[in-house]
Amino acid sequence: MKLWSKGFEPDKMIEEFTVGNDRELDLKLARYDVMGSMAHIRMLESIGLLSGDELKSLLEALEDIAAIIERGEFTIEPGIEDVHSQVEFMLTQRLGDTGKKIHSGRSRNDQVLVDLKLFIRDELKTTSQSIKHLFDRLQLLSEKHKDALMPGYTHLQIAMPSSFGLWFGAYAEALVDDMQMIAAAYSIANQNPLGSAAGYGSSFPLNRTMTTELLGFETMHYNVVAAQMSRGKTERAAGMAIAAVASTLGRFAMDVCMWMCQNFAFISFPDELTTGSSIMPHKKNPDVFEIMRGKCNRLQSIPNEIALLTANLPLGYNRDLQLLKDIIFPAFSELRSCLDMCDFMLSHIKVKENILDDPKYDYLFTVEDVNRLALGGMPFREAYRTVGMQVQNGEYVPTRSVSHTHEGSIGNLCNAQIAAKMETVMDKMS
Ligand code: ARG
């Protein structure tokens, strides 16, 4: 029986097609649905739509349902459309007519919105912790290997000296920018849509400020239509943040695959963290980072998928919006599994020392030698030509000494300043 039943049941095929896998996805929303309902009924009591006794018994019943959810025993029964209907059904089973009063002044449209805001807010917070762990790991490795030089490339051609300190530290700092996106998405999710009801408010004298405070939202979506429009926009902002992190991580995974290749051999991992081949007995493959690269590339399509799903929808609720859950829910866990796996792998990374002693890297030092001549008083262009001609005539002998001192260079990584930037960004989510 549906909440909206008026004496006929919809065709089975129609039900299956429209509900799809929503029952399964909605399980993730259950605890937030109960939180939203608790705030809603407290507010209803405060405006005289529920008695003190009714509030008390409804709160007790909701606590009971919350405990069932926490124990992992909550299910959405066959024939019940979604989590919102299931919670209301359970309340009515327990409390009869009192259970039926809970829906005054709200609609499933703002109910699902409030659930999603609370869910996305939490998921972003948890994701930010995984990002921070990886950030800390990268910074640690950057400091540990700050003196281990490696080649820097442009056009994939040997360019200038780089270092493991610079490489690890670069990805740490890139994650700070990604964290800005996470914090922005968090702030967009941190607004109360409850009270927008079906999308056009209610003639009940709802106290939306009260539910905003009860649910710990930073502010509310004031305009009820804007509140409804935030479905899709909230997911898209979160999706953009996920894609930003995924682009950093996917690129890092590519570096790792390349540096593990025997032609570079800059890094390695213990055998048990590599994978083998069914035909080539010597293989120790970087499958972990290949899967990570692939997953991260896929995650970068999330904002695009959301944009296509929501483009030009008419104002107000449309059922298409339900499909957003399919896109965004698995994306959070997928990204976190990549972040956590990367952190784990990096806790075992082995870095090769003295890479630059190999003569094939001699030309990395040409700019150092040009600069040395220029610092000695020779005009830069002349110094450039002098070293250039040595290279051209096969007479170049590198001095092999490197001295970079400016901020952010191999000799002055500024990891502490980067950590401070990360703290500032993360404070926005506390
Ligand atoms: N499962 C629905 C969704 O995610 C809940 C809202 C249903 N609202 C409606 N008017 N049919 O969007």
Q: Residues 193, 194, 196, 197: what is their CA dihedral angle, to the nearest 10 degrees?
A: 140
Q: Cα of 210 to ligand 1 centre, how many Å?
A: 25
Q: Cα dihedral sign for 154, 157, 158, 159?
A: negative
Specify whether the CB–CB gap between 109 and 317 falls below 8 A: yes
pLDDT (average), residues 325-336: 98
Tokens for 421?
Answer: 């930037």
Q: Cα of 96 to ligand 1 centre, how many Å?
A: 24
* pLDDT tens readout for residues 92-114: 999 999 998 999 999 999 999 99
Q: How far apart are CA 138 and CA 159, in angstroms?
A: 24
Nearest residue (by CA) to ligand 1, atom 11, is: 319
Mean pLDDT of the chain: 95
Q: Given pLDDT bands bounded at 50, 70 and 90, which one contains residue 4?
A: low
pLDDT (average), residues 223-238: 97
Q: Cα of 94 to ligand 1 centre, how many Å?
A: 24
Q: Check residue 177 and give its pLDDT.
A: 98
Ligand 1 atom closest to Cα of residue 325: 4
Q: Cα of 283 to ligand 1 centre, how many Å?
A: 51
* DSSP H or E segment with residue 191: strand 191-192
Q: Given pLDDT bands bounded at 50, 70 and 90, which one contains residue 1?
A: low
Pocket test for ligand 1, best of 2, 88, 196, 319 (most atoms within 8 A of CB): 319
Task: Return the closest-CA partner of residue 342 out of 241, 417, 246.
Answer: 246
Mean pLDDT is lowest, of 190-194, 326-330, 364-368, for 364-368
Q: Cα of 121 to ligand 1 centre, how many Å?
A: 20
Q: Write down how long the chain is.
A: 430
Q: How far apart are CA 281 and CA 248, in angstroms?
A: 33
Phi, psi of 162 (to 5 degrees): -125, -170
End-to-end CA distance of the chain: 42
Q: Cβ–Cβ contacts within 10 Å for residue 70, how many?
A: 12
Specify whether the CB–CB gap between 124 and 185 falls below 8 A: yes
Pocket test for ligand 1, best of 2, 4, 86, 109 (most atoms within 8 A of CB): 109
| pLDDT > 70: percent of the chain | 98
Nearest residue (by CA) to ligand 1, atom 12, is: 322
Tokens for 26?
Answer: 């909605």
Q: Is the pLDDT of residue 411 over 70?
A: yes
pLDDT (average), residues 311-338: 97
Number of helices (H) and strands (E) in the chain: give both, helices first. 16, 6
* pLDDT tens readout for residues 241-289: 999 999 999 999 999 999 999 999 999 999 888 887 777 778 788 899 9
Nearest residue (by CA) to ligand 1, atom 2, is: 322
Distance of CA 289 to the CA centre of its chain: 18
H-helix segments, 197-280: 208-214, 224-260
* pLDDT tens readout for residues 17-34: 999 999 999 999 999 999
Q: Cα of 19 to ligand 1 centre, how many Å?
A: 9
Nearest residue (by CA) to ligand 1, atom 4, is: 322
Q: Given pLDDT bands bounded at 50, 70 and 90, which one contains residue 78?
A: confident
Q: Residues 283, 286, 287, 288: what is their CA dihedral angle, to the nearest 10 degrees?
A: 140
* pLDDT tens readout for residues 333-358: 999 999 999 999 999 999 999 999 99
Tokens for 418?
Answer: 């980067």
Longest dimension (CA), the chain: 95
The SS3 of residue 3 is coil
Q: Check residue 11 and give its pLDDT.
A: 83
pLDDT (average), residues 309-324: 96
Ligand 1 atom closest to Cα of residue 81: 1
Q: Cα of 46 to ligand 1 centre, how many Å?
A: 27
Q: Is the pLDDT of residue 143 over 90?
A: yes
